[in-house]
Amino acid sequence: MKLLLENWRKYVLKEAYILDSDFFDASIEQLFEKLKDFGDNTWIFFDTETTGFTPETKQLTEIGAIAAYPNNWQFDEVEAEEGLFYDKIKLNPETLADFEASDDPEVKYPLKLTRYGMRGDEYREKYPKGKPKEEDVIRQFVSYLERQPNPLLIAQNAEFDVNFVQTRADLYNIPVNMREYPIFDTMMLIKLWEIPRIQQRAEDGDERAQTILQALTMTGKFGDYVTSSMGPVAAAYKISTDEWHNALADVKMMMEMTKVIFMALQESSDVDISKYQRKTASGLRWKLQQGRGLHRSG
């Protein structure tokens, strides 16, 4: 776990993230100036589904990706044969053994928990026999990335997906370094630019911003907070959340959400978001300094 944390900190603090900690205070205008540097990249929106949070002991169950050209943030999809990747993955023997244990009705608190609380029999129904092995799908995904010209990886809570694919690839001795690619995390976009924009516009009396802010305000263990989770954010913008937590459906949702957020930010490019952004940026930097992750699952 210590090695995993050290690798993750190296990944976040250095060149992989295109919006690194030095950029957390950037204005909306500065954000788009930065993004222009990647206007000629192929944007690879991707998502994974897994049986848990720890890639050393859990496995991938789906990988989905869509390649697109930015085109002034309208995201024109690459031709389907080359631009689309999606596969479900056969459950490993170790995973099936875990599920056999967790299905025991007498075990009140199973030691092995699935990512979204889904029991083993539900996973077996969703990922039946006959699907390709995890190793084969990872190899195919790596090949898909290598075929894309000048790729930029985009994911919601990218820390999770990139690290999971990398760790599982390492276990199978698959030669790939996911962190060689530039990475754009849509959750950081939401936390550091879109939520502060909404908060400032709501304070200024904008009724639509007030409605969205209300939809994103959740009550947690320590009081109210504004969520950056993709499902609630997409729903607040009237984007379909059907099949949320299906990898390909999540990719499509992420693309549409990113497009809508970019449009909203561009329309508010002159809004000073620093009042609300500053607190979030400070908290994220503190987490990085402590060696803690930035996100909840997206």
Q: Which residue has the higher pLDDT, 130 or 239?
A: 239
| Residue pLDDT, tens place only, 48-63 | 999 989 999 999 999 9
Region of poorest pLDDT, from 4-18, 129-143, 235-249, 265-279: 4-18
Extract the tokens encoding 78.
Answer: 């690459």
* Span 14-23, average pLDDT: 77
pLDDT tier, 104 (very low <50, low <70, confident <90, very high otherwise): low
Compute the distance between CA of residue 52 and CA of residue 285 in angstroms, rounded to an integer. 27
Residue 69's pLDDT is 97
* Span 264-293, average pLDDT: 89
Region of poorest pLDDT, from 73-77, 181-185, 207-211, 285-289: 285-289
Q: Where are the domains of the chain?
A: 2-90+127-289
Closest by CA to 198, choosing from 185, 188, 211, is 211
- The separation between CA 183 and the C-alpha centre of its own chain, rounded to angstroms, equals 11
Q: Which residue has the higher pLDDT, 145 or 14?
A: 145
Q: Is the pLDDT of residue 297 over 60?
A: no
Residue 124's pLDDT is 64
Q: Is the pLDDT of residue 143 over 90?
A: yes
Q: Which residue has the higher pLDDT, 66 or 245?
A: 66
pLDDT tier, 237 (very low <50, low <70, confident <90, very high otherwise): very high
Compute the distance between CA of residue 273 and CA of residue 98 in angstroms, rounded to an integer. 47
Residue 103's pLDDT is 59
> From 3.40.50.720, 1.10.20.60, 3.40.630.30, 3.30.420.10, which CATH number describes the 2-90+127-289 domain?
3.30.420.10
pLDDT tier, 12 (very low <50, low <70, confident <90, very high otherwise): very low
Extract the tokens encoding 139.
Answer: 């190899």
Q: Is 62 helix (H, G, I), strand (E, B) or coil?
A: strand
Q: Is the pLDDT of residue 108 over 50?
A: no
Q: Is 51 helix (H, G, I), strand (E, B) or coil?
A: coil
Task: Calculate the average pLDDT of the chain.
Answer: 87
Compute the distance between CA of residue 81 and CA of residue 66 in angstroms, rounded to an integer. 10
Residue 17's pLDDT is 85
Residue 232's pLDDT is 96
